[in-house]
Amino acid sequence: MLELTDYNVAYGQSDVIRNMNLSVGDEEIVAVLGRNGMGKTTLMKSLIGMIPSKSGTVALNGVDLVPLQSYERVGAGVGFVPQGRMIFSTMTVKENIETGLTSTGKNDIPEDLYVMFPVLKEMQHRRGGNLSGGQQQQLAIARALASNPSVLLLDEPTEGIQPSIIKEMARTLRTIRDQRKLSIIVSEQVLSFALDVADRILVIEKGNIVLDVPVEEADQATITRYLSV
């Protein structure tokens, strides 16, 4: 499915992702945990092509992503929900989702997106910038799903969301995976969410994977130690 080999990303001279090797399976949900500044966002942004990688390869279902620009990666099946949501705030909810349709060539928003996020249907004519944080998060996910990705990248989706909604978000993501048969990579700091949502837990530290376990074998105490400063 998604394969990273000897993957390196740097800002100028400072290496942030170092020689990462990672393989994400079909319909697998992987949570990437790590403290602030350990390179989660850098990894996500480089996978969608917002920042270039330095060396190594990324292949999605056998397609080499490295030479592709962001929009071409979306066409190849990558969906991206950035940290901070980055919805188009002056555009309506409906228009925001429609931008996600670009790579599919379709004009109409598939009804199942609205079924999944009914609040977006209710608010479809409001400006995206006037939604609450939680609603914006749903919008960002719907926008990414509109392009029919085979792998969905979510960068800290729980940031600024209240605990009760976080539980629900984990359930929603698993439903999305089951319905759409896609893989999900989600970066996180909230351990309970990661344990709820993922099949597999990764911990990165200074750009390296230091722990890689199936969720059943994940030991909370060990992971907590990694996450505490």
Partner 1 sequence: MFADYTMTELTSIFAMQGFAGLTLFSVFVLMALGLAIIFGQMGVINMAHGEFMILGAYTTYLTSNVFSSYLPESLYSLYFFVALILAFLAAGALGAFIEWAMIRHLYKRPLDTLLATWGLSLIMQQLYRTIFGPREVGVTLPDWLMGSIALTDMVEIPINGLFVMAITLVVAVGVGLTMQKSRLGKQTRAVVQNRPMASAVGINTARVDRLTFALGCGIAGIAGAAFTMIGSTGPTSGQLYIVDTFLVVVFGGASSLVGTIASAFTISQAQSTMEFFLSGSMAKVLTLLVVVGILMLRPQGLFSLKIRK
User: Using CA atoms, how far apart are residues 174 and 194, in angstroms rounded to an integer?
Assistant: 12
Kindly identify the residues of this chain, within the stretch 73-102, that bind partner 1 according to CB under 8 A: 74-75, 80, 82, 86, 88-91, 95, 98-102
User: Using CA atoms, how far apart are residues 21 and 208, in angstroms rounded to an integer?
Assistant: 9
Among ligand ATP, partner 1, Mg ion, none, the one that 39 touches (CB under a kind-dependent 5 to 8 A) is ligand ATP
For residues 51 and 42, is the Cβ–Cβ distance under 8 A? yes
What SS3 class is residue 11? strand
117 vs 193, beta carbon nearer Mg ion? 193
86 vs 115, beta carbon nearer partner 1? 86
User: Using CA atoms, how far apart are residues 197 and 158, in angstroms rounded to an integer?
Assistant: 12
User: Using CA atoms, how far apart are residues 229 and 215, in angstroms rounded to an integer?
Assistant: 23
41 vs 150, beta carbon nearer Mg ion? 41
User: Using CA atoms, how far apart are residues 162 and 193, in angstroms rounded to an integer?
Assistant: 12
Shortest approach of Mg ion to residue 48 CB, angstroms? Answer: 13
83 vs 208, beta carbon nearer Mg ion? 83
Enumerate binding residues for ligand ATP (CB under 6 A): 11, 14, 16, 34, 36-42, 83, 156, 189
> Where on the chain is the footprint of Mg ion (CB under 5 A)?
40-41, 83
